Structure 1
Amino acid sequence: MQQNKEILLESGTNELEVIVFQVGTGVFGINVMKVREIIKAPPVTSMPNSHPHIEGIVRLRDEVLTVVNLTTVLGFPPSEHPEEDKLIISELNQLKVAFRVQSVSRIHRLSWEQIEKPTDLSQNLESAATGVVKLDDQMILLLDFEKVVVDINPDKGINVSQVKTLGKRERRHKKIVAAEDSAMLQKLLHDTLAEAGYDQVTFFQNGKEAWEYLEYLKSTGDVHNEVQLIITDLEMPKMDGHHLTRKIKEDESLKDIPVIIFSSLITDDLYHKGERVGADGQVSKPEIVKLIGQIDQLI
């Protein structure tokens, strides 16, 4: 797995690797970059008065990790053979979490172009999944692990009240483009940036839509008047944030526009990848105060 990560780090292509796993009758996926390891589920120590989705805690070497039972999260019946379950040890939002699943199958290398955004007609699927991809005649749902964590512990999300500590300053004449596929995070970003004074933010659901907007502005000759800074998530259908950043920084008309990557995946490996594609700043969700500080410095 580490070797494949290095390939992706060097490539700068619009690709990801997905680990496919099963929970109940559903087939799901998780980005390899979020996974530290996969282990056979050991005995779990229950925690009194904890959230219903939290099964308990386990000790893994020198760390104590919270176990989130995805069967409960997704509304499936309890596992029939819990002794065969696996734990996916994941790191996101600067937090390590163990997710219980029934089985893990294989790794698939994909292009973000293959991943579709769930529609409003998908029986509330959008609230649970960030994308859908068809593989081997199966529909694989890419779960929104960040939302699972924030639903359990809202303190791990973006907090608008944190912005009040920054004080008011004149920011209203600055125009920002933001690529973020989560409707929930779009609203939180809108509210927090507006609270800080950045109230001219144009949102796009993925890097491809943001890129097409930038190309349109280039054709009008007005790009620098309409965009002073770009914020991008990393994981997005159609075009990810690293690929968007690289395209911007390789374009003579756009390369001077600052780009900040704002993602739950700012690990050491991915920080270096962000540097390679030319990002001017990288901030881990949910550090909204740090994000606004970087925006202030860059524009």
Structure 2
Amino acid sequence: MANILESVDQHTQLVGENRLELLLFRINSLQLFAINVFKVKEVVKLPRLSQMPGSHPAICGVANIRGTSIPVINLRQAIGFKPMDPTAADANLIITEYNRTVQGFLVGKVEHIININWKDVMPPPQNAGHNHYLTAITKVQYQERTELVSIIDVEKVLAEIIHYDVQLDADLLDETLLLQMQGRKVLIVDDSPTARHQIRDTLSQIGLEVIQARDGQQALDMLRSWCDSGKQPTDEILMMITDAEMPKMDGYRLTHEIRSDKRMSQLFIVLNTSLSGSFNHAMVQKVGCDRFISKFQPDLLVSAVQERMRQLLAQ
């Protein structure tokens, strides 16, 4: 199992082609769950855990991985099921990096990695309510049968465990720009309702209104409809802030489509993703985003908005 991710670097070329790699695992015997491989640093058998008094109930301890202390989240408990027994024979630890933090998820059997197209990944049913912990679902052929795969909304899980402060640094704000930004609109594209709300709560503090889209295809359809009706997207919105990973169409493909359409090619685009590393910066240059910001950094987000506002005023 230790080498299940050995080939992950070879798969980075898939991003930008509207494809993704999912690591499949179980937290019970009936369902397959998944997270994006690019957020996984390592998969190991669950080591001995040290207790952390006063921590969130879903944090079952701290693992020491080669001298680094990593908080371990009981994923089954965090998404509303009965907690998993850390002493279970199939207990494994998926070590991940989200939003510049490293944490481990206690799971059961880790299956394998699959390569699929984002077009085959669908949002959860609309009648599923607002309290589920999924960003998307897909189907795979597994052991001669079709199984439903539930893709975990890790951002929601972490937001309920780790407090993300959306309060802005007053010294950052340019008072001469605030009046100019009042009532302007920003398009937010993200499949995680939690992420969309975090961005909305940040931007509302500087007077911006938000338009939301849950995936790249929905955002592209909206932009194209404006163009078809004679509207200029740059007149309708100040900028677009998009996630990278989304069902139907990812943020890289969305950016590529926008840059390829002369009617909207000048739109200011910020890639805002929990994925991190130099890989993302390379992808930003490849598809033509204006900025890359790793989630969740409210001050950097507002700095990007102010940068765009200054550009407009200078024109």
TM-score when scaled to structure 1? 0.90
**1:13 paired residue number:** 17
Which secondary structure state, in structure 1, belongs to the residue aligned with residue 167 of structure 2?
Answer: helix
**2:248 paired residue number:** 238
Matched residue pairs, number? 294
The answer as to 2:205 corresponding to 1:195 is: yes
Equivalent positions of 1:255-270 (< 5 A) are: 255-270=265-280
Structure 2 Cα separation of the partners of residues 147 and 294 of structure 1: 24
Q: Give the stretch that moved more between structures: 277-286 or 79-88.
A: 79-88
The answer as to 2:62 corresponding to 1:57 is: yes
1:187 CA drift (Å) = 2.9
**1:175 paired residue number:** 185
**2:98 paired residue number:** 92
Does structure 2 retain, via aligned residues, the 8 Å contact 1:193–1:292? yes
Which secondary structure state, in structure 1, belongs to the residue aligned with residue 201 of structure 2?
Answer: helix
Does structure 1 retain, via aligned residues, the 8 Å contact 2:155–2:194? no
Does structure 2 retain, via aligned residues, the 8 Å contact 1:69–1:101? yes
**1:112 paired residue number:** 118
From the superposition, tell whether residues 66 and 4 of structure 1 become closer, same or farther in structure 2 (CA, over 3 Å). Answer: closer
Structure 1: segments with no counterpart, 5+ residues: none
Equivalent positions of 1:27-106 (< 5 A) are: 27-74=32-79, 75-76=81-82, 78-79=84-85, 82-106=88-112
Q: Give the stretch that moved more between structures: 54-63 or 162-171.
A: 162-171
**Structure 2 counterpart of 1:206, from 198, 215, 219:** 215
Which secondary structure state, in structure 2, belongs to the residue aligned with residue 194 of structure 1?
Answer: helix
1:139 CA drift (Å) = 0.9
1:219 CA drift (Å) = 1.5
Does structure 2 retain, via aligned residues, the 8 Å contact 1:260–1:281? yes
Which secondary structure state, in structure 1, belongs to the residue aligned with residue 182 of structure 2?
Answer: coil
Residue identity matched to 2:263: S
From the superposition, tell whether residues 273 and 122 of structure 1 become closer, same or farther in structure 2 (CA, over 3 Å). Answer: same
Two-structure CA RMSD over aligned residues (Å)? 2.1
1:128 CA drift (Å) = 0.7
Structure 2: segments with no counterpart, 5+ residues: 310-315
Which secondary structure state, in structure 1, belongs to the residue aligned with residue 123 of structure 2?
Answer: coil
Residue identity matched to 1:17: E
Structure 2 Cα separation of the partners of residues 82 and 270 of structure 1: 37
**1:139 paired residue number:** 148
Structure 2 Cα separation of the partners of residues 272 and 259 of structure 1: 15
**2:312 paired residue number:** none
Structure 1 Cα separation of the partners of residues 6 and 223 of structure 2: 35
- Cα deviation per residue 1:245-277 (whole Å; 9 max; x = unaligned)? 121122222221110011111322222222211
- Taking every aligned residue pair, what percent have the same amino acid on both sides? 28
TM-score when scaled to structure 2? 0.86
